[in-house]
Amino acid sequence: MDRNYGIGVFDSGVGGLTVASEINKLLPKEKIYYFGDTAHVPYGDKTPGQVYKYVKDIIEFLKTQKIKALVMACNTSSAIVLPRLNGEVKGIPTLGVIEFASRQALETTRNGKIGVVANPLTVSTGAYPENIKHLSLNGTRVFQQGCPRWVPLIEAGRVTGKDVEEVVAEDLKPLIESDIDTLIMGCTHYPFMMPTISKVMNHGIRVINPASALSLKLRDILEMSDLLSAEENPRHRFFVSGDPDSFRKVGETFYQKPIGKVEKVIL
């Protein structure tokens, strides 16, 4: 495998740009090929069978772009599809976000009560409680909350304002009342809500965004395989299944740098 191959990153929409941004900061010489499945966002109201088909199609497309690693920057995909891939896509190391968020939360919690906000489908899989139970030996309790209204707001670029605060406060209330001291962002879209989350949440609650830990693991994998790129000014590419213009407008704000051309792909 060529060390100058790219890193494939995908999500249901703009949310995975939080992960792509962290990868870019840590590994600035790596090419990133990002796919946002904006024609099907959000995944939270889809069936597991639909999500599996979408993800398989995206993976097949990204493989045609010559990638050396694949990052599922999507909690729903990580919960439903990743376990069936056994950590690899035909020789390409594949990372998901759930394990990294679970480990970080266990290292962070002081009272053993961890909250998870995610879309209803991710919640229904039980992936976070299962991962945390598997990793924990001390009876940590996990409280989940489905937040189906968050992704549509974020995809529309609405992350602050009184109406958004009311939605976030209503969804966080059961978790706060459960006395959690650690909150997992169980969807890569949700870090975009941090200004509002911080405003309505108890400031003693620590928030877990797995993007940083995942990026460090990716670097370790590439380094051990002698696949770290030394390319200067690598070209990133952005693909969507929906409207390129709307993705660019919202995405550049969240990626924290210009995205440039966005290519539409029909899978």
In a domain, 64, yes or no: yes
Q: Tens digits of per-residue pLDDT, 125-150?
A: 999 999 999 998 778 999 999 999 99
Q: Tens digits of per-residue pLDDT, 160-214?
A: 999 999 999 999 999 999 999 999 999 989 988 999 999 998 778 999 988 888 9
User: What integer is the mean pLDDT of 3-10?
Assistant: 96
| pLDDT at res. 256 | 83
Same domain (yes/no): 135, 204: yes
pLDDT above 70 as % of the chain = 99
CATH number of the domain within which 145 lies: 3.40.50.1860
- Whole-number CA gyration radius for the chain: 18
In a domain, 167, yes or no: yes
- Between CA 72 and CA 90 the distance in angstroms is 15
In a domain, 36, yes or no: yes
Average pLDDT taken over every residue of the chain: 93
CB neighbours of 76 closer than 8 A, spacing ≥ 6? Answer: 12, 43, 44, 51, 119, 121, 122, 125, 187
In a domain, 1, yes or no: no
Residue numbers annotated as active site: 74, 187
| pLDDT at res. 254 | 79
For 213-227, give the DSSP string. HHHHHHHHHHHHTT-
Where b means 16+ CB within 10 Å and e means fewer, 170-203 reads: ebbeebbeeebbbbbbbbbbbbbbeebbeebbee
Residue 246, domain extent: 6-96+211-264
Same domain (yes/no): 67, 154: no
Q: Tens digits of per-residue pLDDT, 82-113?
A: 888 866 677 899 999 998 899 999 999 999 99
Same domain (yes/no): 222, 191: no
Where among 191, 208, 225 does a domain terminate? 208
User: What integer is the mean pLDDT of 242-257?
Assistant: 90
Where among 163, 184, 208 does a domain terminate? 208
Same domain (yes/no): 229, 182: no
CB neighbours of 43 closer than 8 A, spacing ≥ 6? Answer: 12, 37, 51, 54, 74, 76, 77, 119, 121
User: What integer is the mean pLDDT of 43-72?
Assistant: 94
Same domain (yes/no): 204, 110: yes
Look at the chain and report how many structural domains it folds into.
2
- Between CA 184 and CA 166 the distance in angstroms is 20
Same domain (yes/no): 194, 111: yes
| pLDDT at res. 86 | 67
